[in-house]
Amino acid sequence: MPGDKKKILIVDDDEMLRSLAADILSAEFEVTAAVDGQDGWEKARELRPDLVVTDLMMPRMHGYELCGLLKGKGGLPGVRVLVTSSKSFTTDVSQAAAAGADDYLVKPYLPGEMLKRVRALLGLGGAAPKPPQEPELLRTMRRPAPTADELRVAPSAGGRLAVYVRFWGTRGSCPTCNPKVAGYGGNTSCVELRVGDTPLIFDCGTGLRELGDSLAREFKGRPLQGHIFVGHTHWDHIQGFPFFTPFYNPANKFMVFSVHGAHGSLGRIFTQSMSLDYFPIPLSSLAAKLGFVEMKGPADLGVAKVSFKHLNHPGVCIGFRVEAQGRTVTYLSDHEPFAKLGGVSDLSLRQDAEIAEFARGSDLVIREAQYTEAEYASRKGWGHATYDDAAKFALESGVKRMAVTHHDPYRSDEELDAHIDYCRGLIGRGGGATDCFGAREGMKIEL
> At residue 250, what is the residue type?
P
Going by C-alpha positions, the residue among 179, 170, 230 that lies closest to residue 444 is: 170
Q: How far is residue 356's CA from residue 397's CA, in Å, rounded to a whole number?
A: 5
- In angstroms, give the least distance from the CB of 173 to Zn ion: 6
- In angstroms, give the least distance from the CB of 234 to Zn ion: 3
CB closer to Zn ion, 62 vs 440 = 440
CB closer to Zn ion, 75 vs 231 = 231
CB closer to Zn ion, 55 vs 334 = 334
Contact 281, 254 (CB under 8 A): no
| Contacting residues toward Zn ion, per CB under 5 A | 172, 234, 236, 334
- In angstroms, give the least distance from the CB of 331 to Zn ion: 12
- In angstroms, give the least distance from the CB of 433 to Zn ion: 29
CB closer to Zn ion, 309 vs 400 = 309
Q: How far is residue 423's CA from residue 310's CA, in Å, rounded to a whole number?
A: 25
- In angstroms, give the least distance from the CB of 171 to Zn ion: 9
CB closer to Zn ion, 92 vs 334 = 334
CB closer to Zn ion, 63 vs 438 = 438
Burial class of 52 by CB neighbour count within 10 A (0 to 12, 13 to 18, 19+): buried
Q: How far is residue 407's CA from residue 128's CA, in Å, rounded to a whole number?
A: 58
- In angstroms, give the least distance from the CB of 417 to Zn ion: 22
CB closer to Zn ion, 41 vs 270 = 270
Contact 217, 245 (CB under 8 A): no
- In angstroms, give the least distance from the CB of 383 to Zn ion: 6
Contact 440, 420 (CB under 8 A): no
- In angstroms, give the least distance from the CB of 287 to Zn ion: 29
Q: Which residue is nearest to Zn ion (CB)?
A: 234
CB closer to Zn ion, 95 vs 188 = 188
- In angstroms, give the least distance from the CB of 240 to Zn ion: 13
Q: Which alpha helices (H) appear in 284-412, and where do they start and end?
A: 338-342, 346-359, 373-376, 387-397
Going by C-alpha positions, the residue among 220, 276, 267, 272 that lies closest to residue 245 is: 220
| Signed CA dihedral, 259, 263, 265, 266: sign only | negative
Give the dihedral of Cα atoms 62, 67, 68, 70; nearest 10 deg: 120
Q: Can you give the three-state secondary structure of 70-98, one letter per residue?
A: HHCCCCCCCCEEEEEECCCCHHHHHHHHH
CB closer to Zn ion, 210 vs 236 = 236
Going by C-alpha positions, the residue among 48, 46, 35 that lies closest to residue 6 is: 48
Question: Which residues sit opposite 10 in a β-bridge?
Answer: 33, 53
Report CA 268 to chain centroid distance, whole Å: 11
